[in-house]
Amino acid sequence: MVKIGNIELGDFPLLLAPMEDVSDPPFRALCKENGADVVYTEFISSEGLIRNAVKSTMKLDIYEKERPVGIQIFGANLDSMLQSVDIVEQTKPDIIDINFGCPVKKVVCKGAGAGILKDIDKMEMLTREMAKRTKLPLTVKTRLGWDEKTIKIVEVAERIQDAGAKAITIHGRTRAQMYKGSADWSLIADVKNNSRMKIPVFGNGDVFSPEKAIEMRDDFGLDGAMIGRASIGNPWFFNQVKHFFKTKTHLPEPTIKERIQMAEKHLKMAIKWKGEKLGVLETRRHYSNYFKGIPDFKKYKTIMVTSDYSDDIFSLFSDLKSKFKEQELAC
């Protein structure tokens, strides 16, 4: 039984990664409904939170049906991070997560995200002080190191654990790699196999199939997998993995009708969360992924991503469900 603090997650839990402009409440809820064991918010700027910036505070919204849910924050200033912990606690998440892994230049240049991998002492200090500040379980997401010459992830994980973290997720690349090359899970396994490690060690990076999830579990011995890009446009992925764990067989790929229904549900939830205008606008980015690879579908996706009115999109969804139902009957 894998546990984050007192939160029981079963054997080899699947976690939805915090992804900018992807892991919003509607998408998290859909992933939860489809097998995710824990979901994390988009990363939230500590500086934005303490200044009450709308873009940051809106990311604090969570649905009850998402639980257990973690709110992830990033920053490099101790006072700002501690104030952010206080703000985050008021929204009553189940977990607070620190982002020590984002490789994006605008984050790194401020010494936050993966930038803090250049200062392990500060990384440990922030973790310790934030863990003391909250009664919620504190977790950390990071990378192997700044570059291949500075990989000290076994030491880093020990220090993070000793500072009070209740779990650590490690992306199997350095900051220098960004998302290029392949994730090296063997170095994450070194952390797991360290006899001093008592907290869960989750792997992240390149889990694009159920087979890869089993490999991470059985060959590398990790405690769970954090799923990122494989879930974009495919919230079914979590159940696909769990089905494969149980049966060693693949679930059928979602039908076009199921994809339409998922996109329709996503749009309805987004409108309920952010209102008509923003709900329509911010769901656009998901359509190309929901309908990726479907022949002769481009003209429909164009309507979805250019229409400003939900009625037009819902009408299109309705027409498409009828159209593809007729095609199925014809077969």
Task: Please determine, for residue 102, whether its predicted confidence score (pLDDT) is greater than 70.
Answer: yes
Picking from 52-56, 120-124, 167-171, 254-258, which range would have the lowest pLDDT averaged per residue? 52-56
User: Residues 215, 278: one domain?
Assistant: no
Which of residues 223, 247, 271 is at a domain's end?
A: 247
User: Residues 91, 37: one domain?
Assistant: yes
User: According to the model, what pLDDT value does residue 330 have?
Assistant: 39
- DSSP letters for 136-179: SPEEEEEES-SSGGG--HHHHHHHHHHTT-SEEEEESS-TTTTT
* pLDDT, average across residues 114-131: 95
Task: Please determine, for residue 328, whether its predicted confidence score (pLDDT) is greater than 70.
Answer: no
User: Residues 326, 199: one domain?
Assistant: no
Task: Please determine, for residue 331, whether its predicted confidence score (pLDDT) is greater than 50.
Answer: no
Percent of the chain scoring above 90 in pLDDT: 78
Residue positions annotated with a catalytic role: 102
User: According to the model, what pLDDT value does residue 248 have?
Assistant: 94
For 4-42, write each residue's pLDDT tens digit. Answer: 999 999 999 999 999 988 899 999 999 999 999 999 999
For 291-300, write each residue's pLDDT tens digit. Answer: 988 888 899 9
User: Residues 197, 314: one domain?
Assistant: no
User: According to the model, what pLDDT value does residue 327 have?
Assistant: 52
* Residue in the block written with tokens 């797991």: 192
User: Residues 316, 269: one domain?
Assistant: yes
Its domain, for residue 265, covers 256-330
More confident residue, 109 or 159: 159
Task: Please determine, for residue 329, whether its predicted confidence score (pLDDT) is greater than 80.
Answer: no
Average pLDDT score over the chain: 93
Count CB neighbours of 260 within 10 A.
22
According to DSSP, the β-strands at 201-204 and 224-227 are parallel
User: Residues 265, 153: one domain?
Assistant: no
Question: What CATH number has the domain bearing residue 31?
Answer: 3.20.20.70
- DSSP letters for 176-227: TTTT-S---HHHHHHHHT-TT--S-EEEES---SHHHHHHHHHTT--SEEEE
User: Residues 204, 68: one domain?
Assistant: yes
For 174-224, write each residue's pLDDT tens digit. Answer: 999 999 999 999 999 999 999 999 999 999 999 999 999 999 999 999 999
User: According to the model, what pLDDT value does residue 70 have?
Assistant: 97
281 confidence band (pLDDT: 50, 70, 90): very high
User: According to the model, what pLDDT value does residue 151 have?
Assistant: 94
User: According to the model, what pLDDT value does residue 21 have?
Assistant: 83
125 confidence band (pLDDT: 50, 70, 90): very high
User: Residues 52, 138: one domain?
Assistant: yes
For 241-271, write each residue's pLDDT tens digit. Answer: 999 999 999 999 899 999 999 999 999 999 9
Sign of CA dihedral 128, 75, 153, 184: positive
Task: Please determine, for residue 57, whether its predicted confidence score (pLDDT) is greater than 60.
Answer: yes
Which of residues 200, 220, 247 is at a domain's end?
A: 247
User: According to the model, what pLDDT value does residue 301 have?
Assistant: 92
User: Residues 96, 170: one domain?
Assistant: yes
How many CA atoms lie less than 13 Å away from 66 in the CB half-sphere?
24
